Amino acid sequence: MRILEQAVKEKATAALSAAGASGDLENLLGPATVEELGDLAVPCHSLAPLLKRSPVDIAESISSSLAPVLSGIAEVSAVSGFVNIKAEPKWLAARLCEILPDDRLGVSIEETRVAAVDYSSPNVAKEMHVGHLRSTVIGDAIVRMLMHKGHTVHRENHVGDWGTPFGMLIEHLLDLGEGNAADELGVGDLDGFYKQARAKFNSDEIFVERSRNRVVMLQSGDEETLRLWRVLVDESMRYFNEVYGMLGVLLTNEDIMGESNYHHLLPDVVTRLENLGILEDSDGAKVVYPGGWVNREGEPMPLIIQKADGGYNYATTDLACIIDRVERIGCNDLLYVVGAPQTQHFKMVFEVASKAGLMDNSHNATHINFGSVLDSDGKILKSREGEAIKLVDLLNESVVRAEQAIADRNPSIDPKQRREIAKAIGIGAVKYADLSTERTKDYVFDWDRMLSFDGNTSPYLQYAHARICSIFRRSLIARPLPDGTAITLLHPEEILLARRLVNFSAMVDESLHTYSPHRLCTYLHSVASAFASFYENCPVLSSEDDLVRLSRLALCDLTARTLSTGLGLLGIDSPEQM
C-alpha cells in the first residue's frame, strides 16, 4: 500500500461510510490515475445508484468532510465525480526525512514465507535459448526481491538432465571420443552436439539400438554409464555457469536440482496416486484425469504418469518435485518461472497435486509465465543461420556495443575502467529490456533501444545514478548525509520527485506480490525522469542558500539510493561513473 494511502485510509473509509457507502464501496480509495491531480483518488461513480445522487455531488460532499481531517497530510479536492487526495509538501518532506537515514529506504522485512523458485532450468547438452535467458533474469529478480523482504528462498535450477535422449547422447559421446566431446560441450557448442546425435538416431538403426540399451543401463545405475552421463552434465554445466557468471545471477552449483534428483521419488508418486484411487489405465499407461481439459475430439485429457513401457514423464517428475518442496523443504510458495507454452502442463500438475493432497490451500503454487523474445520481423529470435542464439555471444555483443557507446560519450575515460563500466551497462541493458516489459507479453529484441541513454532503459537509470555520484564528488560533502538533515520542498519539481521517492517500498511490494518486475522498472524510470527535471530546474551545488543546497543534496542522495537499490533488486549494477 502506498505510504499516503496508509496515512489516510482510516479517515477516508470513515468519510465514505458517513456518506452512506457500505461494503466494498467503503474501499474505493486507490492510487490516482492522473498524477497531476493527486496521489490517491476516490471514484464516486459507483456510489451514485446507491445514494441516488450525482457522482459530482457525492465527490463534493466527501471532499468537504475529508479536507479538514486530512489537513497537514494532504490536500483534498473534488473534480468530475472524483475525490482527489494530494500529499502536502510538508508531509512528504517529513516522510523523506524518515527514509533518509534508513538503509532499507522504508522497505519492511516480512520473513513470513519459505519459497522455492524454480528458474533458469536449461537442458543438458542443448543450447540454453533466449527462453532460458528470460527465466534466468526474471527468476533472479524475484529471488532478490523475496530475499530483500526477508523470506527464506530456495533457488531450484531444475536442469533437464535425465530421460531417454541421454541414451543417444552418451553413445554419441563415445563415438566422438570423451575428450573431444567434452571440449565441444565445454565451449558451448551444445546444439551442434545434440543435432549430430539426433541425426544419427534418425538414420542409423544400430545407433538406435545402442542408444536404447544405454538408456536401460543408465536407469539401472550402471557405473560406467553414470560416469559418462556425468561428463555430459558437468561439461554442459560448465557452459551454463559461464552464462550465469556473465549475467551476474545468484545461481551456483549448489542450486542445481536437476530432474535426475527426483528419479528415486517417481515410483512413490505412482504409489501415492494409486492408493488414492485416482490412477487410471489408458492403453496400458497409468494416467490421472484432472478434469476440465479436453482434447480436439472433445475427450477428457489425462496427465500421463507412467507410460505403457514403464517410463516416467516430465509431469511425474514435477509431481515428485512438489512432494520434495512441500515435505522436505517445507515451502509455502512454489514458484515456477517458465515460458507460457508450459501453462497447461503446470495447470494440470497443480490440479493433480491438489487432488492427491500433495499440497493444500496453505500452499501457493504459481506458474510465473512469460512471452517470447522476437526479432525485428516479429519472429522468434534466432541466429542468422536459423539456430538458437548462443547466449554468450549475445551477451558479449552487448558489452562490445556498450563499450562503443561509452567511448563515444566520454572519449577520455581510461580503457580498463571503460571495460568494467561496459559490462555493467551491456549486461544491464539486456536484463532490463527483458524485465521492463510486462512478462506475459512478447518483446522485440532491439539493440538500439535497450542500449539507449534515453527512455525506459537501464543505461538511462544508471546514468542518472552516476550523475548523482558525480554531483557528490564535486560537492565534497560526504555520504551518508548528517543526521537530522532537513528537507524542504518548494519547487514543483522537488515536490514531484518527493511524491515518487516516498513510494519505493510500496512499489517493491507491489512488484513482488504480482511477480512483475516491470512495475519496479516503470517506477524507477519515473524516479529518474523526475530527477532529470528537478536537476534541470533546481540548482543544487550552485544554490546560494546552504540549507537549500543540503536539502537538494538529500533529494539527490535518496534518488541515487532508490535507483541503485531498485536496480540491485533487478540484478543490475549501478556504476558510480559512466
Q: Does 160 bind ligand ARG (CB under 6 A)?
A: yes
Q: Is 476 exposed, middle or buried (0-12, 13-18, 19+ CB in 10 A)?
A: exposed
Question: Any idea which residue has 542443448 for its cell?
Answer: 126
CA distances from 130 to 127, 283, 380, 439, 523 (A): 9, 37, 9, 14, 26
158 is an interface residue for ligand ARG by CB under 6 A: yes
CA dist 91 and 559 (Å) reads 18
Which residue number, 194 or 523, has a Cβ lying nearer to ligand ARG? Answer: 194
Of residues 133 and 338, the one with the C-beta less far from ligand ARG: 338
Within positions 173 to 202, which residues make up the interface with ligand ARG, using CB under 6 A?
none
* Residue 389 binds to ligand ARG (criterion: CB under 6 A): no
CB of 132 to ligand ARG, least distance (A): 6
Smallest gap from Cβ 21 to ligand ARG, in A, equals: 46
Residue type, 472: F
Compute the CA torsion angle 29, 30, 33, 36 (nearest 10 deg).
70
* 136 interacts with ligand ARG by CB under 6 A: no
Helix H or strand E segment including 96: helix 89-99
- Walk across the sheet containing 280-282 and list its strands: 280-282, 285-288, 303-306
Inter-residue contact 313 to 160 (CB < 8 Å)? no
**Can residue 118 be called a binding residue for ligand ARG (CB under 6 A)?**
yes
Q: Which residue lies nearer to ligand ARG by CB, 12 or 348?
A: 348
Query: Read out DSSP for 162-221?
Result: -STHHHHHHHHHHHH-HHHHHHHHHTT-HHHHHHHHHHHHHH-HHHHHHHHHHHHHHHTT
Residue 323 near ligand ARG by CB under 6 A: no
* 326 touches ligand ARG by CB under 6 A: no
140: contact with ligand ARG by CB under 6 A: no
Q: Is 121 in the site for ligand ARG (CB under 6 A)?
A: yes
The one segment of 49-57, 98-106, 115-123, 407-415 that binds ligand ARG by CB under 6 A: 115-123
Nearer to ligand ARG, 177 or 341 (CB): 341
Regarding 138 and contact with ligand ARG (CB under 6 A), the answer is no
Give the contacts of 545 (CB within 8 A, at least 6 positions apart).
none
- CA-nearest of 8, 150, 174, 61 to 512 is 150
Dihedral-angle region of residue 242 (phi above 0 means left; psi in -120 to 50 means alpha; beta otherwise): alpha
What length is written for the chain?
Answer: 578
- Can you tell me which of 321, 391, 451, 468 binds ligand ARG, judged by CB under 6 A? 321
Which range in 117-125, 222-230, 261-269, 556-564 contacts ligand ARG by CB under 6 A? 117-125
How many residues contact ligand ARG, by CB under 6 A? Answer: 9
Beta carbon of residue 160, minimum distance to ligand ARG (angstroms, whole number): 4
Q: Smallest gap, in angstroms, from Cβ of residue 157 to ligand ARG?
A: 9
- Closest to ligand ARG by CB, 119 vs 534, is 119
Helix or strand holding residue 102 (H, E): none
Which among 116-124, 205-213, 218-226, 434-442 is the span making contact with ligand ARG, rule CB under 6 A? 116-124
Q: Report how far residue 51's alpha carbon sits from residue 15's, in angstroms, rounded to the nearest whole number.
A: 14
Q: Binding mask 279-318 vs ligand ARG (x if CB under 6 A, - otherwise)?
A: ---------------------------------------x
List contacts with ligand ARG (CB under 6 A).
118, 121, 123, 158, 160, 318, 321, 336, 338
